[in-house]
Amino acid sequence: MVASVVLALFILTKTTASLQWYVGRRSNVASVVSVSPCDIDVDRQNGEANLRPIVGVLAEELSHPVAPQFGNATSYLDAAYVKFLESAGARVAPVFVGRSDDYYVDIVARTNGILLPGGGVSLTRSRFAAAAARLLAAAIAARDPYPVWGTCLGFELLVVLTANATTPSDNLLRRCQSENEPSKLVPTDSFHSGDSLLARDMPDDVYRIITTQKTLANYHRKCLTMDSVAAYGLDSFWHILAMDKDQNGVEFVSLIEARDFPIWGSQFHPEKVMFEWSMRVNSATPHGAAAVRAMTYLAQFFVAQTRANGNKFHSRKEEEAALIYNYKPEYVGKESIDYKMQQVYLFYDDLQ
């Protein structure tokens, strides 16, 4: 099932009318979604921006290390991603795994963007991966530009799904060691080319912070190298914006942006800087003012993109039923549990 979705994805990137439409509007869209607050306010006055964006965040089935701590829950969502998006002015709708194709098409039709979070499940055999593949295909097929952001596992899944391969495989990722490792970005020529929406309007102070200070929170054991980018044709779909190095000096891709769609991925965790405080696992996470400023920019940038999407739920009742406000987060970072996340939303019997 996932393989067929990936094949459809490749076809869409080459033939769908939405590709030509988005490419034709890219420069115009950029002016609408500029991350400058003043520019955004002007566009709101012209009625060109969505003032009530809703971003879907994909839940994840419980991986083995997590399951014993959360009882009968069938899936979960790290509350840090919810706070990350809310801090920039978006509302959040949880997106469940194990649902029908129509469910994911409807999610993309009613929300204004999707965030694929980090986690610990399989990139090829999990319900999370299958759901992400369907969401990505629907996002690319959407006529109104539909923003997608992938963080850590979400980043890795984006590159697996867009690799030039007949079936999705995580073989393109090599083992590395970047756990609890603060770092800084090394921008590539693509970052400075003027083709990246993310890079083009980045404030000077944010650029200085992320390139000169260790303000990025890394928690991954798989890396995308430039050898794999070349071998799997990933540079035809992505701008490789920045690199980084793991604890053993392995150079890996850290930040990407799709060439023809509003899709971004970061191997690092922007949300942890503001919202994760575990001393057992996240002891080296940067929490200083500079790190918060830079990661807040990324939240504001992505939410700004969602304001260019005009999707809506059919009714207020339907919209309210979909929001995260219907669920209560659990405090799992306290000493008695001491989990790596501070708060999670737990979902029960949501797999259908």
Residue 15: per-residue pLDDT? 36
Of 61, 83, 151, the C-alpha closest to 114 is 151
How far CA 43 is from CA of 23, 31, 32, 105, 117, in Å, comes to: 20, 8, 6, 28, 29
* 307, 49 contact by CB (below 8 A): yes
Provide the domain limits for residue 308: 2-347
Residue 266: per-residue pLDDT? 95
Number of CB atoms found within 10 A of residue 132's CB? 30
Q: Are strands 75-78 and 60-61 parallel, antiparallel or unpaired?
A: antiparallel
What distance in Å separates the CA atoms of residue 192 and residue 60, rounded to the nearest whole number? Answer: 35
How many structural domains are present in the chain? 1
For residue 240, the 8-state DSSP code is E
* 341, 333 contact by CB (below 8 A): yes
Residue 351: per-residue pLDDT? 55
Residue 48: per-residue pLDDT? 65
The answer as to whether 352 is a domain residue is no
- For each of the chain's 352 residues, which pLDDT tens digit applies? 444 444 444 434 433 433 443 344 343 333 333 344 334 433 433 456 899 999 999 999 986 655 666 778 889 999 999 999 999 999 999 999 999 999 999 999 999 999 999 988 989 999 999 999 999 999 999 989 999 999 999 999 999 999 987 667 778 888 887 777 888 999 999 999 999 999 998 999 999 999 999 999 888 778 899 999 999 999 999 999 999 988 888 899 999 999 999 999 999 999 999 998 887 776 788 999 999 999 999 999 999 999 999 999 999 999 999 999 999 999 988 877 777 788 999 998 765 5
Q: Are strands 91-95 and 54-58 parallel, antiparallel or unpaired?
A: parallel
- Give the predicted TM-score (pTM) of the model: 0.87
Which 3 state secondary structure label does DSSP give 72? coil
For residue 104, the 8-state DSSP code is H
Kind and range of the H or E element at 252? Answer: strand 251-258
The answer as to whether 280 is a domain residue is yes
Residue 140: per-residue pLDDT? 96
Residue 271: per-residue pLDDT? 95
Catalytic residue among 176, 223, 239, 269: 269
The answer as to whether 62 is a domain residue is yes
Question: Residue 324 is part of a domain; what is its CATH number?
Answer: 3.40.50.880
The answer as to whether 326 is a domain residue is yes
What distance in Å separates the CA atoms of residue 157 and residue 159, rounded to the nearest whole number? Answer: 5
Residue 246: per-residue pLDDT? 86
* 87, 304 contact by CB (below 8 A): no
The answer as to whether 198 is a domain residue is yes
Please confirm, yes or no, whether 176 is among the known catalytic residues: no
Please confirm, yes or no, whether 152 is among the known catalytic residues: yes
* 117, 151 contact by CB (below 8 A): yes
The answer as to whether 247 is a domain residue is yes
- Residue for token digits 């991966």? 129
Residue 282: per-residue pLDDT? 66
Catalytic residue among 38, 64, 152, 314: 152
H-assigned helices in the chain: 2-15, 17-32, 37-45, 79-86, 101-110, 127-141, 153-162, 197-200, 204-212, 226-231, 270-275, 289-306, 316-322
Beta carbons within 8 Å of 45's beta carbon, 6+ residues apart: none
Residue 1: per-residue pLDDT? 44
The residues with which 85 forms a beta bridge, in sequence order, are none
Cα 303 off chain centre by: 11
The answer as to whether 183 is a domain residue is yes
Which 3 state secondary structure label does DSSP give 108? helix
